[in-house]
């Protein structure tokens, strides 16, 4: 399609990017979850070019979200910056590995990552009242924060910071290697491991995603793997798509949409695994 009709090819990428940005903003899973499988499986784009374009899009959409929610009192910026040290290093390592790994391996790993993302997004969130003691890490790094609840302000104490840093390194590795925002893994590190309130975790992860992606995309730029003919149309579509998705969030019942979406990414994940496996072992 790209060779025979480049205009139609660009228009399809823009349309797919709008949908990817919209669903990603509504569900907090990142646009690359939809974008990369369509680029690779439907449009025949090289998987490494698709990953690089997705990372560029993640940086852009995260920056746009930061402009909108930059003053959100729910974000714990000290936690975010601390964890980004690990996530950024992981993203650089993941991007380096991606430039060296065969495309078939990346395609199969992307499918596995989609299935894991679906499992993490399906998990039940623990919103019960938790009174936890202050830890040495939280006190020294001043990571503890305040959550706004219906009953008023509630102080929370950050737990198991080293464990959170470890999970965040894995999240960065996956982000740099596969071109995804890995928001589900970031929320897992903060909510489940570090016992930060779920709403604080999700909002904090929004601005972290762009920093992680920027760390990884530098490697792709250095190696000349960011194809402007792919990244350009993606950027044109994904930003307004993400803005529209953010506008839709309070207006629709997201839980039903999330269930449908999770079924889709499980099916796409299996398809990507089979595609990569067939090409790798043929």
| Average of per-residue pLDDT values in the chain | 79
- Name the token pair of 256: 């039903």
Helix (H, G, I), strand (E, B) or coil at 73: coil
In 3D space, the residue among 180, 185, 181, 137 whose CA is nearest the CA of residue 160 turns out to be: 137
Cα torsion 245, 115, 183, 153: sign: positive
pLDDT of residue 6: 78
Mean pLDDT of all residues in 105-110: 82
Q: pLDDT-derived band of residue 277, with 50, 70 and 90 as boundaries?
A: confident
- 33-42, 202-211, 233-242 — most confident range: 233-242
Mean pLDDT of all residues in 46-57: 86
pLDDT of residue 89: 92
pLDDT of residue 208: 82
Between 154 and 255, name the one with better pLDDT. 154
Decide if pLDDT at 254 tops 60: no
Decide if pLDDT at 15 tops 60: yes
Between 74 and 58, name the one with better pLDDT. 58
Decide if pLDDT at 158 tops 80: yes
String of DSSP letters for 99-157: HHS-HHHHHHHHHHHHHHHHHHHHSPP--S-------HHHHHHT--EEEEETTEEEEE-
Return left, alpha or beta for 123; rule: phi > 0 is left, psi -120 to 50 is alpha, else beta: beta
- Which of 2-6, 15-19, 86-90, 221-225 bottoms out in mean pLDDT, i.e. has the lowest? 2-6
Q: pLDDT-derived band of residue 282, with 50, 70 and 90 as boundaries?
A: low
- Which of 49-58, 125-134, 194-203 bottoms out in mean pLDDT, i.e. has the lowest? 125-134
Do the strands 145-149 and 152-156 form a parallel or antiparallel pair, or are they unpaired? antiparallel
pLDDT of residue 129: 54
């Amino acid at each position: 399609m790209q060779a025979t009709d480049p205009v139609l090819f660009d228009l399809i990428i823009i349309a797919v990017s709008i949908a990817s940005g919209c669903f990603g903003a509504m569900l907090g899973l990142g646009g690359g979850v939809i974008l990369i499988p369509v680029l690779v499986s439907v449009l025949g784009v090289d998987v490494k070019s698709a990953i690089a374009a997705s990372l560029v899009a993640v940086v852009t959409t995260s920056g746009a979200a930061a402009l909108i929610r930059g003053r959100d009192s729910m974000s714990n910026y000290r936690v975010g910056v601390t964890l980004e040290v690990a996530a950024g290093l992981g993203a650089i390592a993941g991007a380096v590995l991606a430039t060296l790994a065969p495309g078939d391996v990346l395609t199969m790993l992307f499918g596995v990552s989609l299935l894991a993302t679906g499992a993490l997004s399906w998990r039940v969130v623990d919103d019960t009242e938790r009174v936890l003691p202050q830890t040495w890490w939280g006190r020294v790094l001043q990571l503890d924060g305040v959550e706004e609840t219906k009953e008023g302000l509630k102080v929370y104490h950050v737990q198991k910071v080293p464990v959170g840093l470890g999970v965040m390194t894995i999240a960065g590795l996956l982000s740099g290697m596969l071109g995804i925002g890995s928001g589900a893994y970031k929320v897992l590190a903060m909510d489940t491991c570090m016992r930060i309130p779920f709403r604080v975790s999700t909002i904090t992860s929004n601005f972290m995603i762009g920093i992680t992606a920027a760390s990884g995309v530098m490697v792709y730029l250095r190696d000349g793997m960011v194809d402007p003919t792919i990244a350009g149309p993606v950027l044109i579509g994904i930003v307004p798509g993400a803005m529209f998705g953010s506008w839709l969030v309070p207006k629709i019942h997201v839980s039903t949409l999330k269930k449908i979406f999770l079924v889709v990414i499980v099916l796409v994940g299996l398809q990507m695994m089979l595609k990569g496996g067939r090409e790798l072992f043929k």
